[in-house]
Amino acid sequence: MADEQHITEVSGTGVPIPGDDIDTDQILPARFMKEVTFDNMADYLFYDARRDDDGERNEHPLNRFEGASIAVVNSNFGCGSSREHAPQAMMRWGVDGVVGESYAEIFRDNCKSIGIPAVTTDHETVTELQAWIEDNPDGDVEIDVEGETVSYGGRTIDVDITDAMQEALVEGIWDTTTLMYSNMSKVETTAASLPYVENA
Amino acid sequence: MSDGTLYDKVWEKHKVTELPNGQDQLFVGLHLVHEVTSPQAFGMLEERDLDVAFPDRTFATTDHVVPTEADKRQRPFPDREAEEMLSALERNTADSGITFFGFDSGKQGITHVVAPELGLSQPGMTVACGDSHTATHGAFGSIGIGIGTSQIRDVLATGCIAADKQKVRRINVEGTLGEGVYAKDVILKIIQDLGVDGGVGHVYEYGGSAIDALDMEGRLAVCNMSIEGGARAGYINPDETTYEYLRGREYVPEGEAFEERKAYWESIASDAGAEYDDVVTIDADGIDPLVTWGINPGQVIEIGDAVPSPADFDARTDREAAERALKHMDIEPGQSMLGYDVDVAFLGTCTNGRVSDFEAAARVLEGNTIDGDVRALAVPGSETVRAECERRGIDETFINAGFQWRRAGCSMCLAMNDDALEGDEVCASSSNRNFVGRQGSKDGRTVLMNPAMVAAAAIEGAVTDAREYLDDDPTGSAGGVGDGEVAD
Ligand code: SF4
């Protein structure tokens, strides 16, 4: 069961996705959201950015770093629409964890909902890591969710993770449906106390 | 920490318990569902053999993928994927006992237009929807929260979301808006001043004389774009304008029950002595209409101003963003946006797809025709809006001017149907996002502006100060503008 999965560390090779304010329309263009499941979303990840004008794959990092598990991004990543299709596409492409300067809140929440740690650190540290991955495409990057560090190439850097995300992932309680479903009697009480909720 | 604000009160009233992960379990009083983000959530529910917990508090409509051309709305849609999405929603809502406003109901439209006009969105509620513009409903003094698909599953299964309480920033917008300056300009001004990530970690409470003076439709436009300012939610305290708007609407109680409900609404408004985490003041006196020059909503200027140079920005990220924007938009620093060529005019969306928006644009269009090279779409935010515009004859003004008068949907806001930009077309748009690729073409260029400005751009085939068209208004219909209540 998903709700028993403790995520204390994730690791693998990295993929740098440089750029600030990368919005979800770029991560997963809206025209590919017309499917009733997330199954094929990996095919559409950064669809436009990964192709040149005649539709051929270009030099986009996602094309060059196939098989990577750790995405390294810059600031305000995932801004714009609330579509969970964006992190779902990243996960299905192979991303198990994200290191970045900052994230849009809905994007980070969506990552938490599907068990992807999204940690933050400063601009310099992120760009150094991105450069290191460019030089070491086969090098291992490890996010220690519990210890709040990222290790690569013999280095260990401190990173930040929100308390809610850390707690949820480490304790294996990121499946909020299961978590909240156990409180249904309290939910009924709250609903009944609201003047606008009838027959609760 | 904030204290005594509407946000604090509504949060407290809806908090079920604290979760082991430190978040609060928050009851969702109104859950709005549409076809794009919900099928996967219903699927997850089925996998776990769970039922919808509060079908009576859940309402659905269809907006993102639906065709807006009348003759393409026959079922099944020729677009197989769109048909599949809509059928899935119809099936899921019917199976779960959720009210669905489909084409036949005459009430179909964009969730954030439909729920307010039916009186579903009310003060003191928590509203959730799998759509980032759920903040719109904050116009009533509710807390509107945009959520992802796994959270939709949470709400369907438990009636709740797991949420972190945010800080509250009070934004006092002071001053009087000039003729031809609208709520859209107010929120663009706020985003210009505070930035696209200025609201991260905060909800925005909008107030002050310029906000107080807005009608409900204007307030909806302001709250709608809270997310473009980085705030997860934005709201306005309810007042007489709010209560009068709600009176008589379909889902609002009548008579004594209305008065009882109103007592609750009044009780949740921020206290006079409420404490905020932050207070800022925005001067709205004498602002001009704003237009975006770049590829995020914060890259925006008042219409008379020059496009800035990357060097004008302090932050490295802003400088780099400006460089990308100038390149994409193919403009130079120092240039004016006035005269910037426009190929497409798009009027509609959950920001500006309400009756008063079409009225404001119609006032500009009256007696004019659009530029022969411009493709112009008027897409009502809901079928209710469309019917009301047609009752008032506003549709005639659009059609006579050369606009296509469409049926309700999101349309070219995100181009999930046939309405899309082609190549590097420039669109004068009343929508809320000018991100690269947003309107369906990766080279397409979006210039965000208020509805009157969209109309003027359509006439001129270029970005224009719409106020030029207001001076010699032959119809004298000025009384309609800004007074956007749906009549009845
Ligand atoms: S009109 Fe645009 S912003 Fe509003 S709900 Fe539809 S797609 Fe989203």
| Statement to judge: residues B377 and B336 lie in one domain | yes
Q: How many residues does chain A have?
A: 200
3-state secondary structure of B72: helix
* Closest CA in chain A for residue B432: A80
Interface pTM (ipTM) of the complex?
0.92
Structure tokens at B415: 């181009």
Phi and psi based region of residue A95 (left: phi greater than 0; alpha: psi -120 to 50; beta: remaining):
beta
State which of B283, B313, B348 marks the end of a domain: B283
DSSP H or E run through B27: strand B24-27
Residue A170 touches chain B, beta carbons under 8 Å? no
Structure tokens at B312: 């004008």
Query: What's the average model confidence in pLDDT over B150-172?
Result: 97
According to the model, what pLDDT value does residue A173 have?
86
Q: pLDDT tens, A153-190?
A: 999 999 999 998 999 999 988 889 999 999 999 999 99
Does the residue A192 lie in any domain? Answer: no
B439 within some domain: yes
- The number of domains in chain A is 1
Full residue range of the structural domain in which residue A49 is found:
9-173
- As to burial, measured by CB atoms within 10 angstroms (0-12 exposed, 13-18 middle, 19+ buried), residue B75 is exposed
What Å distances lie between residue B259 and B76, B236, B263, B266, B268, CA to CA? 45, 20, 6, 10, 15
| Predicted pLDDT at A4 | 59
Q: Give the residue on A whose Cα is nearest the Cα of B26.
A: A187
Domain stops at, among B163, B184, B218: B163
Quick check: A113 pLDDT over 70?
yes
Structure tokens at B310: 């990357």
Q: Does A173 touch chain B (CB under 8 A)?
A: yes
Looking at residue B472, its pLDDT comes to 56
Cα torsion B103, A86, B227, B331 to 10°: value is: -100
> Do B120 and B10 sit in the same domain of this protein?
yes
Domain that holds residue B425: 290-469
| Pair (B98, B199) in one structural domain | no
Q: Which of residues 55-84 of A touch B (CB under 8 A)?
A: 74-76, 79-84
Asked whether B279 and B206 are in contact (CB, 8 A), the reply is no
Q: So what's the pLDDT on residue B119?
A: 98
The arithmetic mean of pLDDT across residues B229-249, rounded, is 97
- Any atom of ligand 1 within 6 Å of the Cβ of B63: yes
Query: What angle is formed at CA A34 by the lines to CA B380 and CA B423, rounded to 5 degrees?
Result: 70
Q: What pLDDT, on the 0 to 100 scale, is given for residue B485?
A: 40
- Residue B309's CB: how many other CB atoms inside 10 A? 14
Using a pLDDT cut of 90, give the percent of chain A over it. 85
B149-168: b or e for each residue (b if 16 or more CB lie within 10 Å)?
A: bbbbbbbbbbbbbbbbbbbb
**If pLDDT is split at 50, 70 and 90, which confidence band does B21 have?**
confident
Does residue A123 lie in a domain region? yes
Shared domain check, B225 and B98: no
Contact residues on chain B for A60, CB-CB shorter than 8 A: none
Query: What's the pLDDT band for B479 if we cut at 50, 70, 90?
Result: very low
Tokens of B77: 């849609």
CA angle A42, A45, A48 (to 5 degrees): 140
pLDDT of residue B484: 40
Binary contact (A26, B150; C-beta < 8 A): no
pLDDT at A199: 60
Residue B115 token pair: 């729920």
Q: Are residues B464 and B315 in the same domain?
A: yes
Q: Tell me whether residue A4 is in a domain.
A: no
**Mutate which of B37, B64, B132, B134 to test ligand 1's pocket (most atoms within 8 Å of Cβ)?**
B64
Structural domain includes residue A61: yes
CATH number of the domain enclosing B197? 3.40.1060.10
Residue B296 and residue B273 share a domain: no
Provide the CATH number for the domain around residue A91: 3.20.19.10
CATH code for the domain of B452: 3.30.499.10
**Rounded Cα distance, B294 and B235, in Å:** 27
Provide the number of structural domains found in chain B. Answer: 3
Based on the fold, state whether residues B206 and B156 are members of the same structural domain.
no
B276 and B328 both lie in a single domain? no
* SS3 at position B223: helix
